[in-house]
């Protein structure tokens, strides 16, 4: 299996170049080719469950050559990226009919998936930067795909802020290279393990934090997101919110801090603080929005706060030498919420896209009463809304519950953390309020005359949203011991090993 690891990058890149070459003549080719490519990637991602290994690219071994590393955390992210990627491809087949040059869209889309897969499997910090830029630049172009004033403005803002973030990351990589003489993640971890923290490394960690926070849209770094997500075409909004900010932001941050540079208690507290800030500010800004997709975008910021809170809490407890089980619970909550958010937030963006596809507007005040016209969309949107608000037994409930349990457990040692418990529950409540507003204004109430003739969304879009709704309902099953042992526990172990990552990867796992 480990021999197939480069295919995660090779398939999407090859499909992208072929689409750009061949598909302006045969229009269906782009649809079929992209669906086949992302479907193959999904199959490959499913095969990787429970496996790990190191792949030296070109036969050059670890400290000098570029390695691809597959471990529990990568497997989870590969499943999310390629799962949502496949569904977004299916959705795009119908949705993108409205736009011209669909093959250009699929080219960029596949490049973005290739970049994200690369970020997730690479074991080299500079390689990570390159893949991060591939995914980011493809996403800048995809945000601007509509070509109207609003799209271009959002894309330009995203471009500027994203480039500043990338600049921070590149500078941090340069500093780490200067301090250790290594670019391989395992090599850096080996060089840093057992030594005192160099001041340069602390500075580099802060730069990494700033850069990846821009990509993950945590609160002081978030302004690009509420513009970029509503402007992009719906499948791209779903990819950006469901996958991109996780693979490029949270995954890369957690990987670099836990496994490469080493966590400190202070750093854990800063990450937790960013998480709490994102949670509260995001949800407060979301409540007052009247644009469907902009409201969802602010909720993305808020929900990413949950993920980062869980991961930061785990980082804090591990680094200050606390109870490893509590740290594991916190990490489990963060990682499970990461997976759950990918499912329900992409579903919400797909639903918003379906509504916009049929009605032509996404302003909540202009919508209303379309529940009889679009019953499937209504049902799936309700599932996703309840899921994001944390109503049992949908998936969002379980991850939020675990985060709350982790904060309470941690509060036995650090009583101040009880504040986090209160904030977590309160934010969840405000989330529920704002999604009741969405359901009320979009689906209930009087049907405007303009919408008398609308129909349910086309076949491929319907398939996508129904399968995501099933996923939302069923993802709580990930906590069943068998599934947990196969998918979630390896991901947590990969983070908990800390700098031990270095010696394990150099030994070939």
Partner 1 sequence: MKGMTIIVQTITRLVKIFILLYGLYLTLTGHLTPGGGFAGGVVIACLYILLTLAYGRQWALRRFPRRLAGSLDSVGGFIFLIVACLGFGFGGMFFVNFLERFFPGRPFALLSAGTIPLNNIAICLKVAASLFLVFIVMAGARLLEKKDRTYDYKQEEEE
Query: Least distance (Å) from partner 1 to the CB of residue 159?
Result: 14
The correct pick among 57, 130, 379, 486 for binding partner 1 (CB under 8 A) is 57
SS3 457: coil
Structure tokens at 442: 């979009």
Q: Left if phi > 0, otherwise alpha if psi is -120 to 50, otherwise beta: which for 56?
A: beta
- SS3 for 258-279 is HHHHCCCHHHHHHHHHHHHHHH
Contact range with partner 1 by CB under 8 A, out of 42-50, 147-155, 209-217, 434-442:
147-155
Nearer to partner 1, 68 or 506 (CB): 68
Residues in the chain: 509
Buried residues in 136-151 as b, exposed as e (16+ CB within 10 A): bbbbbbbbbbbeeeeb
Nearer to partner 1, 11 or 207 (CB): 11
Q: Does 56 bind partner 1 (CB under 8 A)?
A: yes
Q: Which helix (H) or strand (E) holds 117?
A: helix 102-121
Q: Does 152 bind partner 1 (CB under 8 A)?
A: yes
Query: Least distance (Å) from partner 1 to the CB of residue 127?
Result: 12
List of residues 6+ apart from 61 with CB closer than 8 A: none
Query: Least distance (Å) from partner 1 to the CB of residue 136?
Result: 17
Query: Least distance (Å) from partner 1 to the CB of residue 23?
Result: 10
**Residues binding partner 1: number (CB under 8 A):** 17
Q: Does 10 bind partner 1 (CB under 8 A)?
A: yes
SS3 55: strand
C-alpha–C-alpha distance, residues 224 and 268, integer Å: 25
Query: Least distance (Å) from partner 1 to the CB of residue 221?
Result: 27
Query: Least distance (Å) from partner 1 to the CB of residue 6?
Result: 4
SS3 197: coil
Q: Does 146 bind partner 1 (CB under 8 A)?
A: no
List of residues 6+ apart from 295 with CB closer than 8 A: 286, 289, 364, 434, 438
**Contact, 252 vs 219, CB < 8 A?**
no
Contact range with partner 1 by CB under 8 A, out of 50-58, 370-378, 433-441, 469-477:
50-58
C-alpha–C-alpha distance, residues 493 and 238, integer Å: 29
Q: Does 40 bind partner 1 (CB under 8 A)?
A: no
Q: Does 284 bind partner 1 (CB under 8 A)?
A: no
The contact pattern for partner 1, residues 13-32, with x = CB under 8 A and - = no contact, is xx--xx-xx--x--------
Q: Does 149 bind partner 1 (CB under 8 A)?
A: yes
Nearer to partner 1, 41 or 332 (CB): 41
**Contact, 434 vs 299, CB < 8 A?**
yes
Contact range with partner 1 by CB under 8 A, out of 10-18, 26-34, 195-203, 501-509:
10-18
**Contact, 340 vs 371, CB < 8 A?**
no
Nearer to partner 1, 59 or 415 (CB): 59
Query: Least distance (Å) from partner 1 to the CB of residue 58?
Result: 4
Nearer to partner 1, 119 or 285 (CB): 119
Nearer to partner 1, 10 or 200 (CB): 10
Q: Does 58 bind partner 1 (CB under 8 A)?
A: yes
Contact range with partner 1 by CB under 8 A, out of 55-63, 73-81, 282-290, 377-385:
55-63
Q: 53 pairs with which residues across the strands? A: 70
Q: Does 55 bind partner 1 (CB under 8 A)?
A: yes
Q: Does 183 bind partner 1 (CB under 8 A)?
A: no
Other C-beta atoms closer than 10 Å to the C-beta of 360 total 11
Query: Least distance (Å) from partner 1 to the CB of residue 192?
Result: 28
**Contact, 486 vs 50, CB < 8 A?**
yes
Query: Least distance (Å) from partner 1 to the CB of residue 70?
Result: 14
Q: Does 261 bind partner 1 (CB under 8 A)?
A: no
The contact pattern for partner 1, residues 106-145, with x = CB under 8 A and - = no contact, is ----------------------------------------
Q: 363 pairs with which residues across the strands? A: 291
Backbone angles phi, psi at 66, to 5 degrees: -85, 130
Cα distances from 247 to residues 69, 99, 254, 411, in angstroms, run 15, 27, 10, 30
Buried residues in 234-251 as b, exposed as e (16+ CB within 10 A): bbbbbbbbbbbbbbbbbb
Alpha helices by DSSP H, listed for 288-394, are: 292-319, 324-359, 375-389
Other C-beta atoms closer than 10 Å to the C-beta of 366 total 14
Nearer to partner 1, 11 or 185 (CB): 11
To which residue do tokens 């040692």 refer? 413
Query: Least distance (Å) from partner 1 to the CB of residue 206?
Result: 33
SS3 223: coil
Nearer to partner 1, 231 or 385 (CB): 231
Q: Does 265 bind partner 1 (CB under 8 A)?
A: no
Query: Least distance (Å) from partner 1 to the CB of residue 60?
Result: 9
Q: Does 170 bind partner 1 (CB under 8 A)?
A: no
Closest by alpha carbon to 400, among 412, 411, 409, 391? 391
- Residues 378-417 touching partner 1, rule: CB under 8 A, are none
In angstroms and rounded to an integer, the radius of gyration of the C-alpha atoms of the chain is 22
The correct pick among 6, 53, 167, 369 for binding partner 1 (CB under 8 A) is 6
Contact range with partner 1 by CB under 8 A, out of 53-61, 119-127, 354-362, 500-508:
53-61
User: Which residues sit at the interface with partner 1, rule CB under 8 A?
Assistant: 6, 10, 13-14, 17-18, 20-21, 24, 55-59, 147, 149, 152
């Amino acid at each position: 299996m480990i021999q197939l690891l480069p295919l995660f990058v090779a398939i999407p890149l090859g499909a992208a170049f072929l689409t750009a070459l061949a598909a302006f003549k045969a229009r269906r080719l782009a649809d079929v080719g992209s669906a086949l490519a992302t479907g193959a990637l999904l199959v490959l991602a499913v095969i990787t469950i429970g496996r790990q290994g190191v792949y030296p690219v070109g036969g050059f071994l670890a400290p000098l050559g570029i390695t691809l590393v597959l471990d529990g955390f990568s497997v989870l992210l590969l499943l999310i990226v390629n799962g949502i990627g496949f569904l977004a491809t299916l959705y795009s087949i119908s949705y993108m009919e409205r736009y011209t040059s669909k093959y250009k869209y699929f080219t960029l889309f596949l490049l973005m998936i290739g970049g994200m897969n690369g970020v997730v499997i690479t074991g080299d910090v500079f390689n990570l930067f390159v893949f991060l830029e591939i995914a980011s630049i493809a996403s800048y172009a995809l945000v601007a795909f509509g070509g109207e004033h609003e799209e271009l403005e959002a894309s330009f803002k995203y471009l500027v802020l994203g480039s500043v973030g990338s600049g921070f990351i590149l500078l941090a990589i340069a500093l780490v290279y200067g301090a250790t003489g290594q670019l391989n993640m395992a090599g850096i971890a080996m060089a840093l393990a057992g030594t005192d923290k160099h001041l340069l490394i602390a500075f580099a960690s802060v730069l990494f934090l700033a850069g990846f926070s821009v990509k993950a849209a945590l609160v002081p770094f978030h302004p690009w997101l509420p513009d970029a997500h509503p402007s992009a075409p719906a499948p791209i909004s779903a990819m950006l919110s469901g996958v991109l900010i996780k693979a490029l932001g949270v995954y890369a941050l957690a990987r670099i801090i836990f496994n490469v540079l080493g966590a400190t208690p202070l750093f854990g507290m800063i990450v937790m603080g960013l998480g709490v800030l994102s949670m509260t500010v995001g949800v407060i800004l979301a409540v007052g929005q009247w644009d469907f997709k902009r409201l969802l975008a602010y909720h993305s910021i808020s929900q990413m706060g949950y993920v980062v809170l869980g991961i930061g809490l785990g980082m804090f407890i591990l680094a200050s030498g606390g109870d490893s089980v509590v740290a594991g619970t916190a990490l489990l909550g963060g990682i499970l919420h990461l997976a759950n958010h990918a499912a329900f937030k992409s579903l919400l963006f797909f639903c918003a896209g379906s509504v916009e596809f049929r009605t032509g507007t996404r302003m909540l005040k202009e919508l209303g009463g379309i529940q009889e016209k679009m019953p499937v969309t209504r049902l799936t949107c309700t599932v996703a809304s309840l899921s994001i608000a944390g109503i049992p037994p949908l998936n969002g409930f379980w991850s939020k519950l675990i985060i709350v349990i982790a904060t309470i457990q941690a509060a036995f040692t650090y009583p101040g953390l009880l504040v986090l418990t209160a904030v977590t529950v309160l934010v969840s409540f405000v989330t529920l309020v704002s999604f009741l507003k969405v359901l009320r204004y979009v689906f209930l109430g009087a049907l405007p005359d303009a919408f008398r003739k609308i129909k349910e969304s086309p076949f491929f879009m319907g398939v996508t949203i129904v399968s995501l709704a099933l996923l939302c309902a069923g993802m709580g099953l990930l906590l069943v011991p068998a599934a947990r042992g196969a998918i979630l526990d390896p991901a947590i172990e990969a983070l908990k090993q800390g700098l031990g990552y270095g010696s394990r990867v150099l030994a070939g796992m």
